[in-house]
């Protein structure tokens, strides 16, 4: 009789949909892809809650409030008793309790199964507490995943992570088929217009005001250009200050008389709408203000769909836009953004050339490709010798 091989059981620790959070979307996208592998059962999720209540689907095996420290220990014990083979810890400083999210260590230090940690943020100037958390998580892990090459020297040099622990895997991008650029422009009432766009949760750190200011000079030469700002205000920002930031942007549009050249799509976007917003765009803009941003899911999406990108020089942008895949503008500088946008609009041949270069990288970071790398890590962690507190015994 042929032997039936047991399927692997994978669990995620992090935020989970329907919580409105980019990390939750990342978890769901990777979850969906891993579910397709023949040697893996449907993954499960341990969801971290904030102070809101969420109605989770059956994929969530347990959930608890991020500030309840005993729950981290309880979760670790339950994982050890379960049939889970490997845990994937999504790490971001803001989603776990304690100083800089230190409570996650209570769970990690008690695990008796291997775990893979994905660092969504790698700070180049961490506080002592942040440094100790990242260092300890990496030390205990089977592998520590980062999503950009530029952060590897920091993990090795600043955090003291062993080189053999570190693995670089790009941020994944969902592969969806849409109508053509021209058809989508018609669908959204923008036929024959040049579209510059940004998508994602709105918050002051996004620097949207500088892109709006840039549109004054852009429209002087290209009156048909329109800047489409896709997405609702970030839930945390809205809770703290309401719609103050969005209202300030709307006021700026009025002050600059750009009502016909700036459009807000104020809602939580579906994955299809996100992809459509990119496909119909001629230029995708990320005018972000934080220079140390090590990864950006929105920028990854722009690359995935082969758009020409204009960005400020945060770490992830400089890496992803190298080799002629886009243009870099200065931080907090509307004139610099304007110059870059006009360089593309004034030279259509450059747009075609950049789109081709970006697409070459973009097609390698679609989720169906990225998931294969995670699946290989998962298999390796399960088949390796017994792993206890980050050491092979």
User: Does residue 358 share a domain with residue 214?
Assistant: yes
Q: Calculate the average pLDDT of the chain.
A: 94
Residue 63 covered by a domain: yes
pLDDT value of residue 384: 80
Q: Per-residue pLDDT for 2 more than 50?
A: no
CB-based contacts of 16, cutoff 8 Å, min separation 6: 24, 27, 28, 45, 47, 54, 56, 59, 60, 63
Residue 5 covered by a domain: no
Read off the CATH number of the domain in which 113 is found: 3.40.50.2000
Between CA 292 and CA 151 the distance in angstroms is 10
Q: Among 149-158, 219-228, 378-387, whose mean pLDDT is lowest?
A: 378-387
Residues 9-55 have pLDDT tens digits of 999 999 999 999 999 999 999 999 999 999 999 999 999 999 888 99
Residue 253 C-alpha from the chain's centroid: 28
Residues 122-171 have pLDDT tens digits of 999 999 999 999 999 999 999 999 999 999 999 999 999 999 999 999 99
Instruction: Count, in order, helices (H) and strands (E) of the chain.
Output: 15, 15
The residue-averaged pLDDT of 253-276 equals: 96
Tell me which residue range forms the domain holding 162. 10-172+367-392
Between CA 98 and CA 90 the distance in angstroms is 16
DSSP percent split of the chain into helix, strand, coil, nearest 5: 45, 20, 40
User: Does residue 100 share a domain with residue 156?
Assistant: yes
User: Does residue 341 share a domain with residue 283?
Assistant: yes
Angle CA 33–173–294, to nearest 5: 115
Q: Percent of the chain having pLDDT more than 70?
A: 96
The pLDDT-based confidence of 4 (bands split at 50, 70, 90) is very low
User: Does residue 166 share a domain with residue 111?
Assistant: yes
User: Does residue 185 share a domain with residue 71?
Assistant: no
Nearest to 311 by CA among 204, 181, 211: 211
């Amino acid at each position: 009789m042929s032997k039936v091989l047991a399927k692997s059981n994978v669990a995620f620790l992090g935020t989970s949909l329907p919580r409105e959070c980019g990390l939750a979307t990342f978890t769901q996208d990777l979850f969906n892809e891993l579910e397709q592998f023949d040697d893996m059962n449907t993954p499960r999720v341990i969801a971290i809650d904030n102070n809101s209540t969420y109605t989770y689907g059956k994929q969530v095996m347990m959930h608890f409030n991020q500030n309840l420290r005993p729950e981290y220990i309880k979760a670790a014990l339950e994982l050890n008793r379960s049939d889970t083979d490997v845990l994937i810890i999504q790490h971001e400083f803001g989603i776990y309790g304690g100083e800089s999210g230190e409570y996650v260590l209570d769970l990690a230090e008690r695990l008796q199964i291997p775990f893979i940690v994905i660092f969504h943020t790698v700070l180049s100037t961490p506080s002592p507490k942040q440094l100790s958390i990242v260092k300890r998580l990496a030390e205990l892990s089977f592998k520590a995943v980062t999503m950009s090459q530029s952060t590897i020297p920091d993990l090795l040099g600043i955090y003291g992570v062993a080189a053999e622990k570190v693995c670089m895997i790009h941020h994944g991008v969902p592969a969806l088929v849409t109508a053509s650029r021209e058809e989508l422009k018609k669908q959204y009432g923008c036929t024959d217009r040049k579209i510059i766009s940004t998508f994602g949760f709105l918050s002051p750190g996004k620097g949207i005001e500088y892109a709006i200011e840039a549109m004054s000079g852009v429209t002087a030469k290209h009156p048909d250009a329109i800047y489409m700002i896709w997405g609702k205000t970030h839930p945390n920002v809205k809770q703290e200050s309401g719609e103050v930031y969005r209202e300030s942007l709307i006021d700026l549009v009025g002050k600059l008389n750009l009502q016909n050249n700036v459009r807000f799509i104020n809602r939580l976007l579906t994955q299809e709408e996100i992809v459509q917003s990119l496909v119909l765009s001629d230029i995708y803009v990320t005018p972000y203000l934080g220079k140390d941003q090590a990864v950006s899911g929105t920028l990854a999406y722009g690359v995935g769909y082969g758009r020409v990108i204009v960005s400020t020089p945060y770490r992830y942008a400089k890496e992803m836009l190298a080799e002629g895949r886009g243009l870099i503008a200065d931080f907090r500088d509307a004139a610099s953004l304007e110059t870059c946008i006009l360089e593309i609009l004034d030279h259509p041949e450059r747009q075609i050339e950049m789109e081709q270069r970006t697409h070459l990288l973009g097609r390698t970071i679609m989720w169906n490709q990225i998931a294969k790398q995670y699946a290989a890590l998962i298999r390796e962690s399960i088949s390796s010798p017994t792993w206890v507190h980050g050491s092979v015994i």
